[in-house]
Structure 1
Amino acid sequence: MCSGYRDPNQLMIRDESHATRQRASSGRTTLSVYTVEVPLRDRARAAFFSHYVVGLARTYSVLERIDQQSPLNKHLAVTIDAVSLAFFHFQNFSEDASKLARREYLEALPLVSKALGSSEGVASDSTLLAVLLLDLFEKIMNNNPRSTESWMSHVKGALALFDFRQEQQLEDYVSFRLSVRLVTNMVISCVAADAPVPPGVIRLRRLMEPHMLEDPKWQVTGLCAQYANLRAAMLTGNLPRTEVLRRAKALDHDFKSLADNLPPAWVSERVFLQKPSEHVLERYYDVYPDYFTAQTCNVIRIMRISLNDTIRTTYMAMPSMDDKDSLNSHGAVFATQIIDTVASEICAAGPQFTGAESAHTRIDEFSPVRKLHCYTLLIPLYAAGMFASEKTNIRPWVLKQLRLIASTSGIRNAELVADMLERRDGTPLWSVYAILGSYAFAA
Structure 2
Amino acid sequence: YLDHLAGIRDHRIEENLFTGIKAVGLAGLSNVSRDHGLLVEARKQYLAAIRLVNSALQSPVDSVKDSTLLVIMILSIFEALTGSNKQSLTTWVNHINGASALLKQRGSNQLATPKRRQMFLQIAFSLVTSCIQQQVPLPPHILQLSSEARIYADDCDDKAWGVLEIMVLFTEFHASIRGGTVSDPQAILDRALELDRMFEDALTDMPSGWGYKTVTADINDNHVFADYYHVYENGWVGQLCNGMRALRIMLNDTIRDVLLAGFSSKPPLFLTAEYTTQFQRSVEALYQLQSEIFASVPQHLDYSFKEDPSSSTSTYAGSPFSSDSSYTDIADDSSSGTFSSVSSLQPLIRTSSSYFPLWPLFVAGGMDITTNVARDWAIQTLRHIGQSRGVHQAYALADMLDKKENLIVWHRQQRS
TM-score using structure 1 length = 0.68
- Asked if 1:79 is matched to 2:24, the reply is no
Q: Supply the distance in 1 between the matched residues of 2:93 and 2:228 (Cα, whole angstroms).
A: 44
- 2:102 is the counterpart of 1:158: yes
Is structure 2 residue 79 aligned with structure 1 residue 99? Answer: no
Map of 2:25 onto structure 1: 88
1:389 aligns with 2:369: yes
* Structure 1, unpaired ranges of 5+: 1-51, 432-443
Residues 128-164 of structure 1: per-residue CA shift (max 9 Å, x gap): 64245335535644844548994455234314424xx
Provide, for residues 171-204 of structure 1, a one-character-per-residue CA deviation record: whole Å limited to 9, x for no partner. Answer: 4566655655564555454334322222222221
Give the letter for the 1:360 counterpart: G
Q: Quote the offset at 1:416 in angstroms.
A: 3.4
Change beyond 3 A, Cα 1:364–1:149: closer
Question: In 1, are the aligned partners of 2:229 and 2:296 still within 8 Å (CA)?
Answer: yes
Aligned to 1:281: 225
The residue that corresponds to 1:223 in the other structure is 166
Contact 1:89 / 1:95 at 8 angstroms: preserved in 2?
Answer: no
Q: Alignment partner of 1:196: what SS?
A: coil
Tell me the residue number matched to 1:299.
243
1:191-242 Cα offsets, whole Å, 9 max, x none, are: 3432222222222122111222522333322221111111122222121332
User: For residues 222 and 93 of structure 2, what CA distance do their matches in structure 1 show?
Assistant: 43
Partners of 2:120 and 2:221 lie apart in 1 by 44
One-letter identity of the residue aligned with 2:207:
P
Deviation at 1:170, TM superposition (A): 4.2
Q: Does 1:194 align with 2:111?
A: no
Per-residue CA deviations over 1:251-294 (Å, capped at 9, x if unaligned) read 11111111111123121222345855444333322232242232
Q: 2-side partners of 1:134 and 1:249: how far apart?
A: 36
The amino acid across from 2:267 in the alignment is: M
Corresponding residue number in structure 2 for 1:14: none
| Alignment partners' CA distance in 2, 1:257 and 1:263 | 12
SS of residue paired to 2:289? helix
1:311 Cα offset (Å): 1.7
Q: Does 1:379 align with 2:379?
A: no
Higher relative contact order (CA 8 A, sep 6+): 2
The equivalent of 2:298 in structure 1 is 351
Mapped to 2, the partners of 1:428 and 1:417 lie a distance apart of 12
For the pair 1:251 / 2:188, whether they are aligned, the reply is no
- Pairing 1:420–2:415 present: no
Count matched residues. 358
Counterpart secondary structure, 2:214: strand
The amino acid of 1:412's aligned partner reads H
Instruction: Output the amino acid matched with 2:147.
Output: R
Segments of 5+ residues of structure 2 without an aligned counterpart are 31-38, 305-314, 326-346, 412-416
Q: Distance in 2 between matches of 1:107 and 1:193?
A: 28
Amino acid at match of 1:83: G
In the alignment, structure 1 residue 361 sits paired with structure 2 residue 319: yes
> Which of residues 167, 171, 176 in structure 2 aligns to 1:233?
176
For residue 210 of structure 1, the aligned residue among 120, 136, 151 is 151
State the superposition RMSD in angstroms: 3.7
Q: Is the 8 A contact 1:388 1:395 kept in 2?
A: no
Matched residue type, 1:281: F
* 8 A contact 1:79–1:104 mirrored in 2: yes
Shift of 1:169: 6.8
Cα gap change, 1:176 to 1:156, in 2 (>3 Å): closer
Match of 2:72 in 1: 134
The question of whether the paired residues in 2 share the 8 Å contact of 1:82 and 1:102 is answered with no
State how far apart, in whole Å, the 1-side matches of 2:213 and 2:93 are: 43
The equivalent of 1:399 in structure 2 is 379
Q: Select the structure of larger CA radius of gyration.
A: 1
TM-score if structure 2 supplies the norm length? 0.72
Distance 1:309-1:149 versus aligned 2 partners, 3 A rule: closer
